[in-house]
Amino acid sequence: MRDELLHLLFPNVCVVCRKLLQKGEEQCCSSCMAEFDPFATLSASELMLRHLIGSRFGKNFHFDRGWCRYLFHKESPLQHALHAMKYEGLFRLGSTFGRHLGEWIAEGVDTQEIECIVPVPLHRLKKIERSYNQSEKIAEGVAAVLNRPVRPELLSRTRYTRSQTGLAAPDRRKNLEGAFQAGQGAMARHVLLVDDVITTGATMAAAAQALRRGGAEKVSLAAVALAAKE
């Protein structure tokens, strides 16, 4: 609560170090952003993501393409920024992260085949608690760059699940069994599924499976960060 009040009273300070932002900086100062750990290339992030998914799911989770902008490290400036976005009401930071992710993808990938962007949904009770879905804000930022519609109605979270934080990989998968369901609208053939952080891939796997059951032929993945092995 103290941090939320601080952001309301002093909106022009960095969410990580609390220093005043300079002209052109948004929510997070250049010095803190310089401490983020970006992937050098799109292919590097996709290769690491495929290795993670393959080691956890084998051939049981196939996705078309996949991109992450940063490596996620515990207690890093990026973790503090993502925490502020997720829990402290700084939804605009989600849009900023989304734009950065979208710009990076657009630099090296032809995304014309992707028909729409679907954020990983929150359960309605959790969305009431937070007042917004951070993944939806990220998706909106990506969409603004890729010029594709955001279609949150294509996927819903039908079961309230405990937080994935602290759960081992098998427990994460079990926690999400049956948690997602495809919506009633006409399903796109190729969907870009967006989340904030990919840790084990369990959330993406469960959400992608629901989209495929609903008729999606291809599901690609995008996230602000991919958890590093530490």
| Every domain of the chain and the residues it spans | 36-227
Collapsed DSSP state (helix, strand, coil) of residue 50? helix
Q: Are 134 and 86 in contact (CB under 8 A)?
A: yes
Model pLDDT for residues 162-217, shown as the tens digit of each residue: 555 555 555 555 656 667 889 877 889 999 999 999 998 989 999 999 999 999 99
Measured distance CA(95)–CA(139) in Å, rounded: 7
* CATH among 1.10.10.10, 3.30.360.10, 3.40.50.2020, 2.40.50.100 for 36-227: 3.40.50.2020
- Contact in structure between 189 and 151 (CB atoms under 8 Å): no
Q: What is the DSSP letter of 20?
A: B
Tokens describing residue 98: 């989304």
User: What are the tens digits of pLDDT across the range 36-95?
Assistant: 999 999 999 999 999 999 988 888 888 999 999 999 999 999 999 999 888 887 888 999
Reading the block at residue 198, the tokens are: 């990919």
| Half-sphere exposure (Cβ direction) of 166: Cα atoms closer than 13 Å | 2
